[in-house]
Structure 1
Amino acid sequence: MKSFHALVPFFLSAAVLVAAACPAVSQVPPGEHNSHHPQQSSPTADSAATDTSSGRGMPGGKADGTNSGMGGMGEMMQDMGKPPGKELYPSLMQLPDLSPERRAKISQLANERIDRGNTLLSLGLQKLRDAAGSQYFAGIQEANEQIRAGQALVQSGLAAQQALAENKNPREIALKWFRQEMNLTPYQEVEPPHGFFGLSWFHYLTMLVFAAFAVAMIWMYFHKMKRANALIEKLAGKSPEKIPAPGEAKPVAPPPAKGEPAPNAEPAKGEPVTAKGTPPLVGPGLAPSKPNSWTGTLLVTEIFDETPNVKTFRLTDPAGGKLPFNFLPGQFITITINLKGVPVKRSYTIASSPTRRDYCEITVKHEEKGTVSHYLHTEVHIGELLQFTAPSGKFTFTETHAESAVFIAGGVGVTPMMSAIRYLTERSWKSEIFFFFTCKNESSIIFREEILYLQKRYPNLHVWFLLEEPVSNPTDSFIKGRITKEILAERVPDIITRMIHICGPPPMMNAVKEMLDELKVPKEMVMTEVFAGPPPKPKTVSPTPEEKGKPPVDEEVAKPFTSEEAGKTGVVTFAKSNKTAVLTPDKSILEASEEVGVNIDYSCRVGTCGICKIKLNSGKVTMAVEDALTEDDKTQNMILACQAKATEDVSVDA
C-alpha cells in the first residue's frame, strides 16, 4: 500500500488527463506538413501545447503535434519535483488540509487551464473547418489533436475546481480511475476482524442463540425423562411390593431363578390355556412374535366385570405408548405371581384385537380352586404392575388362514374367538363368520352386548347362543339346548369346506369333534384349544430302539436311587444336570425337576404350549396331553415334562 500511495500523483494525473484526451500520433511527419503549409504554424497552439506539458501535472501535446501519452507522462514525472509555485494537482494531494491561500492559488491555476483550453478548442475548430474545406487530411488530423488538447485542459481545470468544491480526496479519484482502466471490481473498505478468532459480534450472537437452544433442548429431555421415571416409580409404588405380612400374597415378582422351586399345582378347571392347530400365519399389519420372546411388567389400567364370575383386565406398557410385543388373534400371555414367596405361572388367551396396539386384555373366570384366577379376582386392582411373558400359542386365525371361519366356543373359551372376531371385523373382512357360543344361561354370556352389536353391524357375522336353561325371549339367535350336528349342518352351508375352531371345556370339545366326524369334516380342517379338566387316558411313549442301549449318565455320580429302593416308584435322571429324583405315580417329570433344582422352562403346565419339551433318553413315560408335540417331535423322542409320568427308571436330557 505504501508503494501504491507513492504513485497516487501519477494515477491522479492520468485519471484526469489521459482518460479525457488520449494523445494521437500524427499520420503525416512534421516536415511533410510544413512543406504543404509553411505559414500555418500557430504560436498560440504551440504555446498551449507547451503549457500542457510544462510540469503542472497534466500531460500535453508538443507544438509539432507528435506528442504521445507516454511522452507526456514522462515529462509530468520529470516536472513533479519543480517548485510548488507551478503545482496544481500535486498541491491537491494535500486536500482537505489546504490553507485558504493555497486553495485560492489552485483555483486560479484551474481557471487558467480552462481559459487556455477554450482558446485551443476555438482555434482547433477553425483549423478543422479550413482543412475540411480543402480536403487537407493532414490538417484535419492536426486540428483534431488541437481540439483534444483543449478538451484536456478544460477537463483538468474542471476536475480541480470540483475537487476543491467537494473537498474530495484526490487519491480516491485516482484509485477509481485506475480500477476502471484495469476492469477491477470496486474497492470496498473491509472492516478488519476483531475479537477471538477474528469473529464479529454477529457471529458471537448467533452462536449464543444456538447454544441457548441446545441447552434448552437438553434440559427438556432430562426433565421429561425425570418425570417418566417418577411416574413409573409412582405406579410401581401402588403395587404391594413391600414386605408382606405372613400369609399375604405378593402381586409382582421377578421370574424364578434357575433351580428355584415352583408349586406342584395344576390349573383349575375352566382356566384357559394354550392351543393346538396350524403354525401361526401372518395377517396384514401383524408380525408373529417368537414364543416367550418378551418378559416384563404390564400395568393394569382397567378392570371390567363381564359376568358375575368373569372379569377382563386391560394391560398397558407402564412407560406408555405401544405394547412391547406383537401377537396374533388367539395367542395367549403367561402371568407369573409370587404367592408366599413361591412363583406361580398361568396362561390366559388375549381377548383383544391385535389391531389395538396400545393395550391387550385377558378375560379370566374366577374358579374356587384356581390359584391364579382367585388371586386376580380378589387381590389385583387398577394401578398394579404384573409380571408377564408373551406371546405364545398356535390357535390363531387371520384373514389369510381360510376363506371363511366357523368358531365354536364354550364358556370362557370364547376369548380366542373374540380376539379373532374383533380383528376380522375391525379389518372389514367380507368373508362369512359362523359363531356358535354355548353357555349355561343368559347371564353367563360373556361379551353379550358387544357380540350382538357386531352381529347387527356386520352382516357377514352370524351368531347363535346355545343355552342349557330356558331363554326368556327366544329368537333365532338364542337356542335352548346343546349344540348338535343338525344345528351345525343346517346353519353352516358346505360345512365340510370350512375351517373350524373349537375352544371350551373338554367334554364339549370332544362332543363337537364327534359331530364333525359324522358330518365328514376333514380332521385337518378342525383346530382345537384345550382347557384344563379331567385328564384323558394316558398315552405311553417309549424311546427309539437306538436310544435303548445308551447309558443315561455316569451311574456312580447320578444314580443314588434305584427303582427297587423306591418300591413302586421310578427314578428320573437329569443327564445334563447330573441329578436324580424319585417319581411317584402322580408326579410329573417337571414337578420332580423343581424338587431337585433342575430348571426346565414351562408355561401352561397342561401340555399345550410346548415350552417344556425335553428329550427322553431312556425308559418309558405316559402323557395325558401331548397336543404341543408335532410328528417330528415324536420321531425325535421329545416329551412334555409337565405331562410325562413314569413308574420306572427314566433319563431325560435336562
Structure 2
Amino acid sequence: MNDKNGNPVRKSMSRRTWPTTYTALVLLFVATASTAIAQVSPEEHAAHHPGEANANDGGSGARGMGGPPEGAGPKNGMGGKGGGMMGGGMGAMMDGMMEKMGAPKPKDLYPSLMELPDLPMERRGELEQEAHGRMIAGTRLLSEGFDELSRSAAGDDFAAMQAATAKIREGLNDFESGLAAHRALSEGKAPRNVALQWFKRELNIDDAVNTASSNALLWGMSPFHTSLMAVLILFAAAMIWMYFFKMRRAASLLERLSTANASAGGGQAGSGGTGNGGANTQSTAPSTLPSDSRPSALDSQPVSDCCATDDGCPTEAPADGVDASGLIPVAKKKLCRLRVAKITDETDDVKTIRMVACHGGRIPFSYLPGQFLSFTLPVGEKPIRRSYTISSAPTQAYYCEVTVKREDKGAGSRYICDQLKVGDTLEVKAPSGRFTFTGEESDSVVLVAGGVGITPMMSVTRALTDMCWPGEIHFIVACRDPQHFIFESEIKRLDERYDNLHVHVAMSRIEKDLDGYRKGRLSKELLAEWVPDIATKRVHICGAPAMMEATKGMLAELEVPADNIHTENFGSTQKPKAKVAKGQEAHEPKATGAKVTFATSGKSTELLADETILEAAERIDVEIDYSCRVGTCGICVAKLLSGEVTMEVDDGLEPEDRQAGMILCCQAKAKQDVSVEA
C-alpha cells in the first residue's frame, strides 16, 4: 500500500489483516506448483480436437493446461497415456487441498464408459468431446474461483470467500470427471481400474490391502482372523455343551421333585392299624443300618444319605384301599432317615418328637391321619423296632411328629424320652396303618381317646380343622386329671376356633367337675349326653385294651352298629419268649403236634399251644422282620409255601398279598404242618 506521494507504507499486521495474508500464501503456493504444468501448442491441440483450436481464446490464463510426461499420471489416477491434462504432483496437491476445503468427490462419466470397448467410433468421439469440455469448464471455474478468492480475501468479504471456494470445488469436480473419461477412452477398454482406484479413494483404502489375500488361510481370512474365528467357534461349542448339561441336570432335578411330590404315604393304608403298639413291646430285630454308622446331626448327613436306598425315598406304587381325597396323596416308601428338629414335653411322661427331612426340604413321604411310623432304634447290641402313631397332620408337609409315652419297661420309649436329642437322626420305615379318617368316609365322626391313645385322634382333628372340613367332630377324651391331659392347650384353642369341633373330657381322678371337665370315668350316660344321635355316627376308639373293650360295650348298648365302630389296638405288652415261659410255668401243653418249617433258614420246630409263626421263629433264632406285632404294619409278611394258617387280624396285607399266598407271621397260627419262606 502507498501513501499520497506513491511511496510504499509499511504497516504492522493486525488481527484484521490475517485473512488477506493467509489467502496470499495459498495463492503463492498454487502459483509455485503451477510450474510443473506443461504447455500444449495450438497445433497439437488442433490435431486432437479439430475446430476447437480457438475455443479458449480470451480465457483466464489456464488455457492449454496439458498432461505430464508419459507414465506420470497413472500413478495417482489423474492422467492417462497421451490424454492427461494435469501432472501427478499438481493433481495430488489439488486433491488434498480440495478435500480439506470440503469439496465433493468428482462425478465421473461411468454410466456411458462402462459400455467400452464395444462403443462405436461416433459415440467415442462424442464422449471425448464431452470429457474435454468438462476439463475446459473445470479449468475456467478454478481460475475464476481463485481470482474471486483473492479479491474477497483482500477486502475481508467472508461471504464472497465462501462462494469462491464453492466455485473452486465445482471446477475441480468437473475437471476430474473429464480426466477420468479421457483415461478410459485412451485405454480403449472398460474403466475397471479407474473405477477401482476411485472406489479405494472414496473409502480411504490403502493399496497395501491388496496383498492381504496372498496370506489368507481360509476363505480369504488372514491368520489372525482365522485364529479369532476358531476361538469363537470353540467358545460357542463350549457354551452349547454347558447349556445342554444344565438342561440335563434341571430335568433330573424336576424328575426328582415330581417324584417327591407324587402320591405319597403309607404302604399299607386302610381302616385299621397300630399307634403305639411297638412302644409297649421289648423284642429285638436286626437293623438295616448299623448303629455306629448313624450320624447325629444335619451337618454330617448329606442329601444323598437321606434314604438307605440308592433309588430315592419314594416309589411309584400307590396305596390300595384308601381314599385320600382332599389330602396329600399316599404312596409306598423306602426306608428313610429323619432328623430330630424339636422335642416338646407334653406331660411329665409324654414327649412329642418333631422330625424333618435331612436335606431340609419336605419330608420324603406323605401319610393319612391316624397312620403310624416304624422306627429302628439303636438300643442294646441289636437295634430294635418300634411303631409310634403320627400325631401331626399330613397337611404339614415339611415335618411330622410322633408323641411317645415313657414306659418303665419299654426299651424304645425309654430311648426316645431319655436319650434322643435335637440333631439326632432316626431310621424310619414308611407310614402304615388303616386306622384312618380323611373326612371322605362320613359326614361326621366321633373320636374317643383314652390316655396316650389321643395321638391318632389329634392327627385326625388337626387335619380336618386345617382343611376346614364342614362335618361335625365330637372329640371325647378320657384321662386321669389335667396333668395327664395330652395336648390340652391346643385342643382348647381348636375348640374355641372351630364351631364344628365339640370337645368333651372325662377325668377319673378329680373330685368334682372342673373347668368344663366331668369327673369320673367315661360312661354310657356321658356318651349319650355328649352325642345324642351317636347311633348314627361313625366312631373311632383308641386307648388301652381294657378301655376300648368297655367303650365298645357302651356303644353296643347305645345301639351303635358294629360296622360303625373302628378301633386301634396297641398290641401285646409281652415278648414272645416271655409268653412262652409263662405258658410253661402254667404247665400248658408244650406242643400241639403241628410242625413249622422255615425253608430259607433250614430250621423247623413244633408249634406250642397258641403260638404264632413269629414267636416260633424267635424261639429258634430265625430272623423275621416285624414291628407292630398286631397285624397292621405288614412288616412281618412272609410267603406260606404249604399248609394252612389262621389269622385274627390281617389288616397289614394288601389284596395282591393275599392272592400271592402271603401271611402275617405275628398273627399266623397253625394246627397242621406248615412251611414258610423265611
Query: In 2, Cα distance between the equivalents of 1:432 and 1:465?
Result: 17
Sort the Cα spacing of 1:90 and 1:615 in 2 relative to 1 into closer, same or farther, 3 A: same
CA deviation after TM superposition for structure 1 residue 453, in Å = 0.7
Deviations 1:347-391 (A, max 9, x none): 111111112222111100111121211221222222222211121
Counterpart position of 1:485: 524
- TM-score when scaled to structure 2? 0.55
Counterpart position of 1:95: 92
Query: In 2, Cα distance between the equivalents of 1:330 and 1:352?
Result: 9
Structure 2 contact 639–662 (Cα < 8 Å) conserved: yes
CA deviation after TM superposition for structure 1 residue 427, in Å = 2.2
Deviations 1:213-243 (A, max 9, x none): 99xx9xxxxxxxxxxxxxxx9992569x9xx
Q: Which runs of 5+ in 2 are unaligned?
A: 1-49, 68-76, 98-105, 107-127, 143-166, 182-190, 213-220, 247-291, 309-318, 575-589
Which residue identity does 1:591 align to in structure 2? Answer: E
Which has the higher mean CA deviation after the structures are superposed, 365-374 or 145-154?
145-154
Which residue identity does 2:628 align to in structure 1? Answer: C
Query: In 2, Cα distance between the equivalents of 1:585 and 1:495?
Result: 41
Sort the Cα spacing of 1:421 and 1:92 in 2 relative to 1 into closer, same or farther, 3 A: farther
Matched, 1:154 2:137: yes
Structure 1 contact 506–533 (Cα < 8 Å) conserved: no
Query: In 1, Cα distance between the equivalents of 2:660 and 2:556?
Result: 30
Sort the Cα spacing of 1:484 and 1:92 in 2 relative to 1 into closer, same or farther, 3 A: farther
Query: In 2, Cα distance between the equivalents of 1:605 and 1:360?
Result: 23
Which has the higher mean CA deviation after the structures are superposed, 301-310 or 603-612?
603-612
Query: In 2, Cα distance between the equivalents of 1:515 and 1:99?
Result: 121
Matched, 1:307 2:307: no
Matches within 5 A, 1:330-369: 330-369=370-409
CA deviation after TM superposition for structure 1 residue 577, in Å = 5.0
Sort the Cα spacing of 1:632 and 1:327 in 2 relative to 1 into closer, same or farther, 3 A: closer
CA deviation after TM superposition for structure 1 residue 152, in Å = 7.2
Counterpart position of 1:573: 597
1:329 maps to which of 352, 369, 384: 369
Sort the Cα spacing of 1:616 and 1:146 in 2 relative to 1 into closer, same or farther, 3 A: closer
Matched, 1:495 2:534: yes
Counterpart position of 1:80: 80
Which residue identity does 1:332 align to in structure 2? Answer: F
CA deviation after TM superposition for structure 1 residue 482, in Å = 2.7
Query: In 2, Cα distance between the equivalents of 1:592 and 1:188?
Result: 105
Structure 1 contact 571–581 (Cα < 8 Å) conserved: yes
Query: In 1, Cα distance between the equivalents of 2:323 and 2:423?
Result: 34
Deviations 1:522-576 (A, max 9, x none): 33333221112579xxxxxxxxxxxxxxxxxxxxxxxxxxxxxx86564211245
1:199 maps to which of 228, 231, 235: 228
Query: In 2, Cα distance between the equivalents of 1:330 and 1:397?
Result: 7
Sort the Cα spacing of 1:462 and 1:567 in 2 relative to 1 into closer, same or farther, 3 A: closer
Sort the Cα spacing of 1:390 and 1:152 in 2 relative to 1 into closer, same or farther, 3 A: same
Query: In 2, Cα distance between the equivalents of 1:622 and 1:294?
Result: 29
CA deviation after TM superposition for structure 1 residue 503, in Å = 1.2
Deviations 1:290-322 (A, max 9, x none): 1xx221222112111101111111112222221
2:635 maps to which of 590, 611, 614: 611
Query: In 2, Cα distance between the equivalents of 1:378 and 1:362?
Result: 15
Structure 1 contact 608–626 (Cα < 8 Å) conserved: yes
CA deviation after TM superposition for structure 1 residue 588, in Å = 2.9
Matched, 1:516 2:555: yes
Aligned length: 459
Counterpart position of 2:215: none
Matched, 1:434 2:474: yes
CA deviation after TM superposition for structure 1 residue 613, in Å = 3.3
Structure 2 contact 591–609 (Cα < 8 Å) conserved: no
CA deviation after TM superposition for structure 1 residue 584, in Å = 3.1
Matches within 5 A, 1:599-638: 599-616=623-640, 618-619=642-643, 621=645, 623=647, 625-628=649-652
Counterpart position of 2:20: none
Deviations 1:2-56 (A, max 9, x none): xxxxxxxxxxxxxxxxxxxxxxxxxxxxxxxxxxxxxxxx96699479x9xx997
CA deviation after TM superposition for structure 1 residue 81, in Å = 1.4
CA deviation after TM superposition for structure 1 residue 420, in Å = 1.5
CA deviation after TM superposition for structure 1 residue 452, in Å = 0.3
Structure 1 contact 471–479 (Cα < 8 Å) conserved: no
Query: In 2, Cα distance between the equivalents of 1:635 and 1:296?
Result: 29
2:295 maps to which of 205, 223, 236: 236
> What SS does the corresponding residue of 1:489 show, helix, strand or coil?
helix
Counterpart position of 1:590: 614
Counterpart position of 2:356: 316
Deviations 1:150-197 (A, max 9, x none): 67753577699549999xx99999999969x99xxx969799766474
CA deviation after TM superposition for structure 1 residue 507, in Å = 1.8
Counterpart position of 2:12: none
Counterpart position of 2:501: 461
CA deviation after TM superposition for structure 1 residue 496, in Å = 3.8
Matched, 1:389 2:372: no
Which residue identity does 1:443 align to in structure 2? Answer: Q
Query: In 1, Cα distance between the equivalents of 2:565 and 2:413?
Result: 29
Structure 2 contact 540–567 (Cα < 8 Å) conserved: yes
Matches within 5 A, 1:30-109: 47=55, 80-82=80-82, 87-88=84-85, 91=88, 95=92
Which residue identity does 1:402 align to in structure 2? Answer: S
- TM-score when scaled to structure 1? 0.57
Q: Which runs of 5+ in 1 are unaligned?
A: 1-41, 58-76, 101-109, 111-144, 218-232, 242-251, 256-276, 536-565
Sort the Cα spacing of 1:634 and 1:149 in 2 relative to 1 into closer, same or farther, 3 A: closer
Matched, 1:289 2:331: yes
Query: In 2, Cα distance between the equivalents of 1:234 and 1:345?
Result: 17
Query: In 1, Cα distance between the equivalents of 2:446 and 2:459?
Result: 14
Which has the higher mean CA deviation after the structures are superposed, 435-444 or 278-287?
278-287
Deviations 1:88-118 (A, max 9, x none): 3674796269999xxxxxxxxx9xxxxxxxx
Structure 2 contact 339–356 (Cα < 8 Å) conserved: yes
Which residue identity does 2:228 align to in structure 1? Answer: L
> What SS does the corresponding residue of 1:342 show, helix, strand or coil?
coil
Query: In 2, Cα distance between the equivalents of 1:501 and 1:472?
Result: 28
Query: In 2, Cα distance between the equivalents of 1:514 and 1:505?
Result: 15
Structure 1 contact 601–611 (Cα < 8 Å) conserved: yes
> What SS does the corresponding residue of 2:551 show, helix, strand or coil?
helix
Which residue identity does 2:393 align to in structure 1? Answer: S
> What SS does the corresponding residue of 1:451 show, helix, strand or coil?
helix
Query: In 2, Cα distance between the equivalents of 1:407 and 1:440?
Result: 18
Matches within 5 A, 1:89-168: 91=88, 95=92, 153-154=136-137, 162=169
Structure 1 contact 45–146 (Cα < 8 Å) conserved: no
Query: In 2, Cα distance between the equivalents of 1:95 and 1:645?
Result: 120
> What SS does the corresponding residue of 2:489 show, helix, strand or coil?
helix
